[in-house]
């Protein structure tokens, strides 16, 4: 990050560190430093560490040190100020590179030459300069394209559980995403926080081998890297992305994983500051903090680019009411929820469509965007599957023989839907294929049962099978 | 033409002795913690005085006095601010600017027009911008309602200007002013031009009012008239009164915003103040793109002309989010005082509460439940109590109302948390949104067993809509209740465990839920439903229930009754053409009766 920036001279100062507490240091003699500004901490041995001013009281500053505080003593440590907030370089020279969690090269390659520098915290987009996202993105995954449609400029998280294949789903979306009828390339900025080396290797092969390298940047903060650096990683990624999307008019997809690791770093700082903890020890301002990241997605008026966010978070204990998924859900425009049950049954990708939702779907589908029957078909598949799952639950109580024929049809539908529609495996499906699979699944139902679809669409697309066939 | 200073309305009677001389101070910053700043050398500063912080002159407000220390919250991002920078206290509280030009506005939490916050094609919000809250250059056609020599007092009508196509913006005598009209200046005027003189003092149209103080009224009135929302589940089961308040608690994705927006579009209010408080930028963009295309169902004028949008999204400074609620309610009261029925939507009051909590925690105050400050309940009450139906001050006699609808976003969707619980005590309607219903795509996901309305509005509906309204309403509520009990049995033992009679109750409950209560906001035909249509639909479901029961008595098998194909037509009621609603209803009632008796 700042090591790439030789423009502003150091304001040298030898301040006294009076206290070290977890990731925080308390420094005296910090006159002339601004709130939120960047400082550099030198211990004499080891690299310079960066930090940020969290609080100023007279000439005393509380500083969070991104590189961790190991080895910082009260003497031998000097704290230098830079007279500005943390920045990152932005530009095209970063493509194909692996950076660390603070945006410095970690692939042994040369220092990238940035087009410019930007403050990592960004500024809030003025709501009146936004354009409402409404362009359909085809991901090739039926569950998403058909039922949880993603649009350019959306922020859509993947709620995952420990061990569920969220990373490969995200990588797959990043590799396959395209907008039908629009050849504009999608560039991917990948921010990984607290990931293992094995995961890092997976991302490196996914994003930086072959043709993808020219359009990807990978920021890696590994599980054993300093945790507080994770607070920077998404900000650096989003700052690079904003530049590409809103100034260079590119279509940018930012994938952030794992937001749970990010939130833990936030909690660590809060605990070190002895703040009043909120739910489960996470700070009360976590909503605002997460919003300051997620709200950086979008499209702007008069611009042709877009910034789409796909963030992965691991729900502790698969609990969707845990503060991390809960606050995320309150900010994002829907969610894709992965299911342990489906995963156990080998259904890939294991997306549970019932709790999943894309709030911008309506804006991105229909005549002129996808197809006229998309909305009705999606509602119908959803309704049939929800009923099928309900019948399945009931069956576990009353047994299959206790079910009316009609109910058994929904039961069969639910199984087929999971097997074929959701469980498409690695194959890519075009939207047309996805819609066709949906209509095939509805074939066993008589038209009168399909209340969510208009008569016109039924006449055109429904291939009603002989009803008895499925009852057998 | 001379221009006047904006007329600052003094405190209402009883406090007018406090009229204070404005003294401004300059101090310096000694401590910075996010949006909370402390300064010294500000001896004359009072609580809630406005401050300008630092060389960038960031807008802030004093929130605590502690010995020589003056603590303030800053409404803008404080990054880069240094200890030692100057703080200028203005000696005045935070004011709203009130006058023609508010409608159609898009403002931030401190009422700054958003279009003036990003200059030269910049996409982001700049800091330190201090644009006029109301346009100073626009001309309005002042039409006097008084004559020279008239004696006037606070709240009396001086005249009006047309604001948009449908609203007559009434210019009133400011609070605290009285005397004889000595001159009148009709015709085009900016908000600062004098429009009349009272005892030789020029009075312009612009008023300033401190955000955190309720505007005075002549009297408070009982709440007897509903605000028709166009949402069947609300108007039928849980109606809100004009001047009442409602809260919409619900987990994420349960439909709070869609419902608030539906109310903003379709409710029978003259003026709508929509406050996006700590929510998504894209949702405001949606409103901004959609509202200008829509028309006010009652006046035919563009919807935006009756709307004021206040947008302080989640990534905008947190202290301004806190102020946004007060900006909204002050503007609402201002139009109420002109004699209008105003509805204010706040999405979401939880984000407002969290802003309070964040500032309180930086003040290191002793927290109460869940980290919220102990004064949370008082602040919430102060806000909800500003709703009401009133006899306005002044002549001619007129009434107005402010109805408040606040969304609540409880952590984990759990309603036991402090914001929901405290708001629950204050609001007259509780529209509980249910995650399970929203997953079933039952929208609006208002849980009919948990929600309530405390407003007794049956008399109005029976008188203005139809005498069978309240009996039918009670029937529907009871049927849903009965169905709920039976559903529990079914989920344990299966439907076969029920008696035939009970299965009819189940079928009626289903019709009420699916064909009546469900209403998609994305269906242009059904997004809003007037009371007469609701009544017609309700009568049909009621008659269908009666027909099913009589078929059962005739000995028809229950499976044949519930499978009758005519029942599918209940789902088409929402597509009935708008005219001849009652004819369509009678025809369907007859067909149901015929088919049932032919089984
Ligand atoms: N009345 C409705 N008609 C049709 N669909 C609805 C309705 N209400 C909600 N929905 C669906 O539910 C989604 C979520 O609704 P909404 O954005 O209003 O939730 P919310 O409660 O405001 O969530 P959050 O707390 O996260 O802001 C919508 O995008 C829409 O798909
Ligand atoms: Mg919402």
User: Hey, which residues does A138 pair with through a beta bridge?
Assistant: A178
pLDDT of residue B2 exceeding 60, the answer is: no
The mean of the pLDDT values for chain B is 92
How many other C-beta atoms are found inside a 10 Å radius of the C-beta of residue A132? Answer: 21
Contact B400, B338 (CB under 8 A): yes
* H or E segment and range at residue B221: strand B219-221
Residues of A in Cβ contact (< 8 Å) with B571: 451
In terms of C-beta density within 10 A (0-12 exposed, 13-18 middle, 19 or more buried), how is residue B436 classed?
exposed
Among chain B residues, the shortest Cα distance to A30 is held by B83
A39-48, A223-232, A312-321, B46-55: range with lowest mean pLDDT: A39-48
Q: Across residues B442-456, what is the average pLDDT?
A: 96
CB-CB neighbors (< 8 A) of A28 in chain B: none
- Residue A109: CB partners within 8 Å, gap ≥ 6? A97
Instruction: List, in sequence order, every residue forming a beta bridge with A155; answer none if it has no partner.
Output: A309
Taking the CA of residue A289 and the nearest CA in chain B, the distance in Å comes to: 8
Protein residue whose Cα sits closest to atom 10 of ligand 1: B255
The average pLDDT across B111-135 equals 87
Asked which of B2-16, B70-84, B380-394, B413-427 is least confident by mean pLDDT, the reply is B2-16
**Are B314 and A287 a contacting pair at CB < 8 A?**
yes
Q: Comparing A346 with A403, which gets the higher pLDDT?
A: A346
Percent of the residues in chain B that have a pLDDT greater than 70, as a whole number? 96
pLDDT tens readout for residues B537-594: 999 999 999 999 999 999 999 989 998 889 989 988 998 988 889 999 999 999 999 9
Q: Which helix (H) or strand (E) holds B159?
A: strand B157-163
CB count in 10 Å sphere of residue A240 = 27
More confident residue, B362 or B144: B144
Q: Which of A35, A287, A354 sits opposite B354 (nearest CB)?
A: A287
B363 touches chain A (CB under 8 A): no
A298-345 pLDDT, tens digit each: 999 988 999 999 999 999 999 999 999 999 999 999 999 999 999 999
Tally DSSP H helices, then E strands, for chain A: 14, 20
Class of residue B549 by CB neighbours under 10 A (exposed 0-12, middle 13-18, buried 19+): middle
Q: Cα(A359) to centroid of ligand 1, in Å? A: 7
What is the distance in A from the centroid of ligand 2 to the CA of B279?
7
Would you put residue B53 in left (φ > 0), alpha (ψ -120 to 50) or beta?
A: beta
User: Rounded to an integer, what distance in angstroms lies between the CA atom of residue B298 and that of residue B301?
Assistant: 8
Asked if pLDDT for residue B18 goes beyond 90, the answer is no
Residue B250: CA count within 13 A, CB half-sphere: 31
Q: Which of B543, B545, B547 is nearest to B582 (CA)?
A: B543
Put simply, the answer to whether B441 touches A379 (Cβ < 8 Å) is yes
Task: Indicate the residue of A362, A383, A402 with minimum beta-carbon distance to B494.
Answer: A402
Alpha carbon A399 to its chain's center: 41
Q: Please name each of the domains of chain A with its CATH number.
A: 3-85 (2.40.10.170), 88-364 (3.40.50.12240), 374-461 (no CATH)
DSSP3 helix / strand / coil % (chain B, rounded to 5): 35, 25, 40
Mean pLDDT, range B436-444, rounded to an integer: 92
User: Of all residues in chain A, what percent carry a pLDDT higher than 70?
Assistant: 95
Whose alpha carbon is nearest atom 15 of ligand 1? B255
Cβ–Cβ of A276/B315 closer than 8 Å?
Answer: no
Ligand nearest to the CA of B252: 1
Q: Which residue among B81, B494, B571 places its CB closest to the CB of A35?
A: B81
| Mean pLDDT calculated for residue range B341-367 | 92
Distance CA B393, CA B132 (A): 28
Q: What is the pLDDT of residues A193-212, one digit of tens each?
A: 999 999 999 999 988 887 78
ipTM, 2 dp: 0.91
Whether the per-residue pLDDT at B454 is higher than 80: the answer is yes
Cβ(B323)–Cβ(B275) under 8 Å? no
Q: What is the spatial distance between Cα B310 and Cα A40, in angstroms, rounded to a whole number? A: 40
- What's the pLDDT tens digit per position in A214-235? 899 999 999 999 888 999 999 9
Note whether A355 contacts B439, CB cutoff 8 Å: yes
A124·B316 Cβ contact <8 A? yes
**Which protein residues are within 6 Å of ligand 1, measured from CB?**
A 329-330, 359; B 250, 252-258, 279, 409, 443-444, 520-522
What share of chain B in percent tops pLDDT 90?
76
Q: Is the pLDDT of residue A164 over 60?
A: yes
How close A213 comes to chain B (CA, Å)? 30
Those residues with Cβ within 8 angstroms of residue A52's Cβ, 6 or more apart along the chain or in another chain: A36, A37, A38, A39, A63, A64, A66, A85, A86
Q: How confident is the model at residue B5 (pLDDT cuts 50, 70, 90)?
A: low
Q: Which of A55, A124, A406, A447 to mutate to test the interface with B (most CBs of B within 10 A)?
A: A124
Angle (nearest 5°) at CA B109 between B96 and B279: 150
User: B329 vs B77, which has greater pLDDT?
Assistant: B329
**A:B CB pairs within 8 Å:** 191
Question: How far is CA A314 from its chain centroid?
Answer: 11
Q: What is the DSSP string of A324-360?
A: HHHHHHHHSSEEEEE-HHHHHTT-SS-EEEEEEEETT
Distances (CA, A) of A313 to A219, A241, A336, B213: 17, 20, 11, 44
Tens of pLDDT along A391-402?
998 888 778 877
Mutate to test the interface with A, among B75, B83, B510 (most CBs of A within 10 A): B83
A69-89 confidence digits (pLDDT tens): 888 877 778 888 888 888 999
Residues of B in contact with A453 (CB under 8 A): none
* Per-residue model confidence (pLDDT) at position B362: 85
pLDDT of residue B6: 61
CA B291 to centroid of ligand 1, rounded, Å = 18
Q: Is B92 helix (H, G, I), strand (E, B) or coil?
A: strand
First to last CA, chain B: 84
Inform me whether the pLDDT recorded for A468 exceeds 50.
Answer: no
For residue A5, pLDDT beyond 80: no
Query: What's the CA-to-centroid distance between B362 and ligand 2, angstroms?
Result: 27
- The proportion of chain A whose per-residue pLDDT surpasses 90, expressed as a percent, equals 69
- Mutating which of A31, A35, A385 best tests the B interface, going by the most B Cβ atoms within 10 A? A35
| SS3 at position B143 | strand
Q: How confident is the model at residue B9 (pLDDT cuts 50, 70, 90)?
A: low
Given the CA of residue B280, which atom of ligand 1 is nearest to it? 27
Closest CA to A51 of A19, A75, A27, A16: A27
pTM for this entry? 0.93
Give mean pLDDT, residues A443-461: 90
CA of A194: how far to CAs of A100, A191, A240, B295, B417, in Å?
A: 11, 10, 20, 51, 32
- Rounded-to-integer distance, Cα B414 and Cα B173, Å: 47
Amino acid B4: pLDDT: 56
Catalogue all structural domains in chain B, each as residue range(s) with its CATH number.
Answer: 7-12+137-210 (2.40.50.100), 25-92 (2.40.30.20), 219-455 (3.40.50.300), 469-598 (1.10.1140.10)
**What pLDDT is attached to residue A13?**
58
The answer on pLDDT for A471 being more than 50 is no
What is the mean predicted confidence (pLDDT) over B530-534?
96
> If residue B535 lies in a helix (H) or strand (E), which one and from where to where?
helix B531-553
Q: Residue B23 has what pLDDT?
A: 61
Question: Within 13 A of B467's CA, how many CA atoms are on the CB side?
Answer: 0
Residue B206 CA to residue B172 CA, distance in Å, equals: 10
pLDDT of residue A14: 55
Q: Which of A242, A374, A260 is closest to A298 using CA atoms?
A: A242
Flag whether pLDDT at A408 surpasses 80: yes
Whether residue B13 is predicted with pLDDT greater than 70 in this model: the reply is no
Q: Which of the four pLDDT bands, split at 50, 70 and 90, describes residue A46?
A: confident
Query: What's the pLDDT at A213?
Result: 84
pLDDT at B505 over 80: yes
């Amino acid at each position: 990050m700042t090591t790439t920036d030789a423009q502003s001279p150091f304001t040298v100062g030898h301040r006294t560190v009076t206290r070290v507490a977890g990731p925080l240091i308390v420094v005296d003699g910090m006159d002339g430093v601004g709130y939120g500004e960047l400082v550099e901490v030198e211990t004499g041995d080891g690299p310079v560490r960066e930090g940020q001013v969290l609080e100023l009281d007279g000439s005393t500053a509380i500083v969070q040190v991104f590189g961790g505080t190991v080895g910082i003593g009260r003497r031998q440590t000097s704290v230098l100020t830079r007279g500005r907030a943390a920045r990152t370089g932005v530009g095209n020279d970063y493509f194909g590179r692996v950076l660390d969690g603070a945006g410095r090269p970690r692939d042994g390659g040369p220092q990238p030459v940035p087009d410019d520098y930007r403050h990592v915290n960004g500024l809030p987009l003025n709501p009146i300069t936004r354009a409402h996202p409404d362009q359909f993105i085809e991901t090739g995954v039926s569950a998403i394209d058909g039922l949880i449609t993603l649009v350019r400029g959306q922020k859509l998280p993947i709620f995952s559980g420990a061990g569920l294949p969220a990373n490969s789903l995200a990588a797959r979306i990043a590799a396959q995403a395209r907008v039908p009828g629009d050849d504009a390339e999608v560039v991917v900025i990948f921010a990984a926080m607290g990931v293992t080396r094995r995961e890092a290797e997976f991302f490196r092969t996914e994003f930086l081998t072959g043709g993808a390298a020219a359009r990807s940047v990978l920021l890696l903060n590994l599980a054993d890297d300093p945790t507080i650096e994770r607070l920077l990683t998404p900000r650096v990624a989003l700052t690079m992305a904003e530049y590409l999307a809103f100034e260079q008019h590119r279509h940018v997809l930012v994938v952030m994983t794992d937001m749970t690791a990010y939130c833990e770093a936030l909690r660590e700082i809060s605990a070190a500051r002895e703040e009043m903890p909120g739910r489960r020890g996470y700070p009360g301002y976590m909503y605002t903090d997460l919003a300051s990241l997620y709200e950086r997605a979008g499209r702007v008026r008069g611009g042709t680019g877009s910034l789409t966010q796909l963030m992965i978070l691991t729900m502790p204990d698969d609990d969707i009411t845990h503060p991390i998924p809960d606050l995320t859900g309150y900010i994002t425009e829907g969610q894709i929820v992965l299911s342990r049950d489906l995963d156990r049954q080998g259904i890939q990708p294991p997306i549970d469509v019932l709790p999943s939702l894309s709030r911008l779907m309506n804006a991105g589908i229909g005549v002129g965007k996808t197809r006229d029957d998309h909305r009705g078909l999606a509602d119908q598949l959803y309704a049939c599957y929800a009923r099928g799952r309900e019948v399945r639950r009931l069956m576990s109580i009353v047994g299959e023989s206790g079910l009316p024929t009609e109910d058994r049809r929904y039961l069969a539908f639910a199984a087929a839907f999971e097997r074929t529609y959701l469980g498409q495996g690695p194959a890519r499906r075009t939207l047309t294929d996805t819609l066709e699979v949906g209509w095939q699944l509805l074939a066993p139902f008589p038209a009168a049962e399909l209340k969510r679809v208009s008569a016109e669409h039924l006449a055109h697309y429904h291939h009603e099978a002989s009803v008895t066939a499925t009852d057998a | 033409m001379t221009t006047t200073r904006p007329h600052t309305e003094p405190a209402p009677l009883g406090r007018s002795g406090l009229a204070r001389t404005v003294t401004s101070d300059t101090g310096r910053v000694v401590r910075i913690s996010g949006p909370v700043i402390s300064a010294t050398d500000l001896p004359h500063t009072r609580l809630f005085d406005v401050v300008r912080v630092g060389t960038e002159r960031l807008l802030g407000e004093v929130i605590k006095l502690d010995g020589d220390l003056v603590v303030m919250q800053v409404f803008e991002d404080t990054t880069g601010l240094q200890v030692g920078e100057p703080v200028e206290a203005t000696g005045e509280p935070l004011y709203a600017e009130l006058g023609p030009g508010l409608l159609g506005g898009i403002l931030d939490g401190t009422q700054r027009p958003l279009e003036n916050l990003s200059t030269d094609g910049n996409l982001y919000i700049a800091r330190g911008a201090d644009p006029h809250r109301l346009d100073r250059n626009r001309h309005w056609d002042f039409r006097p309602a008084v004559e020279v020599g008239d004696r006037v007092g606070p709240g009396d009508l001086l005249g009006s200007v047309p604001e948009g196509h449908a609203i007559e913006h009434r210019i009133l005598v400011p609070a605290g002013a009285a005397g004889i009209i000595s001159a009148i200046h009709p015709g085009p005027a900016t908000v600062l031009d004098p429009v009349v003189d009272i005892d030789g003092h020029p009075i312009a149209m612009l008023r300033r009012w401190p955000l955190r103080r309720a505007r005075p009224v002549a009297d408070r009135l009982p709440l007897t008239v509903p605000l028709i929302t166009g949402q069947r589940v609300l108007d039928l089961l849980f109606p809100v009164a004009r001047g009442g308040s409602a809260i919409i608690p619900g987990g994420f994705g349960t439909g709070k915003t869609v419902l608030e927006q539906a109310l903003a579009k379709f409710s029978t209010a003259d003026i709508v103040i929509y406050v996006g408080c700590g929510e998504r930028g894209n949702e405001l963009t949606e409103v901004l793109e959609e509202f200008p295309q829509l028309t006010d169902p009652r006046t035919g004028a563009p919807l935006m002309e009756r709307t004021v949008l206040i947008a302080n999204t989640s990534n905008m400074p947190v202290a301004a989010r806190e102020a946004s609620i007060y900006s909204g309610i002050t503007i609402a009261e201002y139009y109420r005082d002109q004699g209008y029925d105003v509805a204010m939507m706040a999405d979401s009051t939880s984000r407002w509460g969290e802003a309070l909590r964040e500032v309180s925690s930086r003040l290191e105050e002793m927290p109460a439940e869940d980290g919220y400050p102990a004064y949370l309940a008082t602040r919430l009450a102060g806000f909800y109590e500003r709703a009401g139906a009133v006899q306005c001050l002044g002549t001619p006699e007129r009434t107005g109302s402010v109805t408040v609808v606040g969304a609540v976003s409880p952590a984990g969707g759990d309603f036991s948390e402090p914001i929901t619980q405290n708001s629950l005590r204050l609001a007259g309607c509780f529209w509980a949104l249910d995650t399970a219903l929203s997953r079933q795509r039952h929208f609006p996901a208002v849980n009919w067993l948990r929600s309530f309305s405390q407003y007794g509005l049956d008399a109005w509906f029976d008188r203005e809509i139809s005498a069978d309204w309240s009996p039918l309403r009670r029937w529907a509520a009871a049927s849903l209740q009965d169905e709920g009990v039976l559903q529990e049995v079914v989920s344990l033992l299966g439907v076969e465990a029920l008696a035939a009679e009970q299965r009819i109750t189940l079928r009626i409950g289903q019709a009420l839920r699916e064909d009546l209560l469900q209403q998609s906001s994305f269906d242009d035909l059904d997004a809003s439903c007037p009371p007469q249509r609701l009544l017609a639909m309700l009568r049909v479901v009621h008659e269908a229930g009666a027909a099913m029961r009589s078929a059962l008595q005739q000995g028809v098998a229950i499976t044949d009754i519930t499978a009758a194909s005519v029942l599918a037509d209940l789902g088409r009621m929402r597509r009935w053409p708008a005219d001849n609603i009652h004819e369509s209803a009678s025809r369907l009632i007859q067909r149901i009766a015929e088919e049932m008796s032919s089984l």
